[in-house]
Amino acid sequence: MRTGRIIKALSGFYYIKVDEEVYQTRARGIFRKSGMNSPLVGDIVDFESDNLTEGTLTTIHERKNALKRPQVANVDQMLITMSLKSPDFSFYLTDRFIAYSESFDIEPVLIITKKDLNTDEALIEKIKETYKMYKIFFTSKEHFDEDLREVFTDKLSVLAGQTGVGKSTLLNTLLPKLGLETGEVSKALGRGKHTTRHVELVEKNGGLVADTPGFSTIEFTHIEKEALKYCFIDFDMPSESCKFRGCNHINEPKCGVKSAVESEDINRTRYESYLQIYEEIENYKERY
């Protein structure tokens, strides 16, 4: 019995890396017959194999998390890619991706592209202040932040972000051998064309990154509305002064989070994003 990580899944085969070797395997029929979770790229698994091409995947180890799009398990960090221009930066969309990342216990890392197209320095300062609790990198075609390469070390990373912000371009810069097709931004729609492919984990600076442009749309059907507040980590400390245990920071009196918003210790755009997502989750539950 061997143990390794699935780095690629394609046409019913699972490619498992152990040290420097990659084994081609198929999953045991029990995964299909019993309704068990199918193996995902990123899974740590046990398998049996006498050679590199005829192995059998037998066991999936417990996962830290599992995303549906892209289908990757045990993700350590999400590289949330947003642009300053074309399309314009959106605090609300950024907050959505951050909350989504936090809901899976994945560390958010913000990558802000197209800095060369922005002339509003106040916007950059507002972004830095709003998201000072996270790592933030600013890039452009002319200037790539070399420090960004170091965030991969000992991490499994995926990309996420609004369509057309340059996720494929960013991946091509980080992983030049990929040659991902980049979608041009539609001037009429203000968003880009989707470019997709199967998921494969590629080694980068001592870590692994999913070689896919990631995803641009998300839903919060997987969490309860009462859990959303834990996905806004800047609420944690102010919430300690809430009068009521279990305060959701909506209509409750003597709420520490609402007080922090009024005193500008919490950015109001963050709180407004929270309210919108909370209402969205509430509507999900009413509908289903």
Residues 177-227: pLDDT tens digits? 555 444 443 333 344 444 445 788 988 888 999 877 667 778 899 999 999
| Structure token digits, residue 252 | 């409750």
**How many C-beta neighbours within 10 Å does residue 88 have?**
14
Enumerate the β-bridge partners of residue 210.
201
Consult the annotation and say whether 153 binds a ligand. Answer: no
Residues 235-265: pLDDT tens digits? 999 999 999 989 999 999 999 999 999 999 9
Consult the annotation and say whether 64 binds a ligand. Answer: no
**How many C-beta neighbours within 10 Å does residue 30 have?**
11
**Residue 223 and residue 281 in contact, taking contact as beta carbons nearer than 8 Å:** yes
Residue 122: Cβ-neighbour burial (10 angstroms; 0-12, 13-18, 19+) = exposed
Consult the annotation and say whether 183 binds a ligand. Answer: no
Consult the annotation and say whether 216 binds a ligand. Answer: no
DSSP state of 146: G
Consult the annotation and say whether 255 binds a ligand. Answer: yes
DSSP SS3 for 262: helix
Consult the annotation and say whether 94 binds a ligand. Answer: no
Which helix (H) or strand (E) element contains residue 169?
helix 167-174
Q: How far apart are CA 261 and CA 267, in angstroms?
A: 6
**Residue 162 and residue 83 in contact, taking contact as beta carbons nearer than 8 Å:** yes
Residues 81-98: pLDDT tens digits? 999 988 899 999 999 999
pLDDT at 94 (0 to 100): 95
| Structure token digits, residue 140 | 């452009």
Consult the annotation and say whether 61 binds a ligand. Answer: no
Structural domains present in the chain: 2-60 (2.40.50.140), 77-210 (3.40.50.300), 225-287 (1.10.40.50)
Consult the annotation and say whether 258 binds a ligand. Answer: no
pTM: 0.86
Query: Which is higher by pLDDT, 32 or 189?
Result: 32
Consult the annotation and say whether 58 binds a ligand. Answer: no
Consult the annotation and say whether 164 binds a ligand. Answer: yes
Q: Is the predicted pLDDT of residue 69 greater than 90, yes or no?
A: no
DSSP SS3 for 24: strand
**Residue 104 and residue 83 in contact, taking contact as beta carbons nearer than 8 Å:** no
DSSP SS3 for 100: helix
**How many C-beta neighbours within 10 Å does residue 227 have?**
12
**Which of 30-34, 48-52, 144-148, 202-206 shows the lowest per-residue confidence on average (mean pLDDT)?**
30-34
Consult the annotation and say whether 187 binds a ligand. Answer: no
Consult the annotation and say whether 119 binds a ligand. Answer: no
DSSP state of 200: B
Band of residue 114 on the pLDDT scale cut at 50, 70, 90 = confident
pLDDT at 146 (0 to 100): 74
Name the residue among 234, 232, 248 with its Cα closest to residue 98.
Answer: 232
pLDDT at 286 (0 to 100): 62
Q: How far apart are CA 107 and CA 140, in angstroms?
A: 23
Consult the annotation and say whether 231 binds a ligand. Answer: no
Q: How far apart are CA 180 and CA 123, in angstroms?
A: 30
pLDDT at 185 (0 to 100): 37
Consult the annotation and say whether 147 binds a ligand. Answer: no
Q: What percent of the chain has pLDDT over 70?
A: 85
Consult the annotation and say whether 162 binds a ligand. Answer: yes
Q: What is the mean pLDDT of residues 32-44?
A: 77
Q: What is the mean pLDDT of residues 127-138?
A: 94
Consult the annotation and say whether 193 binds a ligand. Answer: no
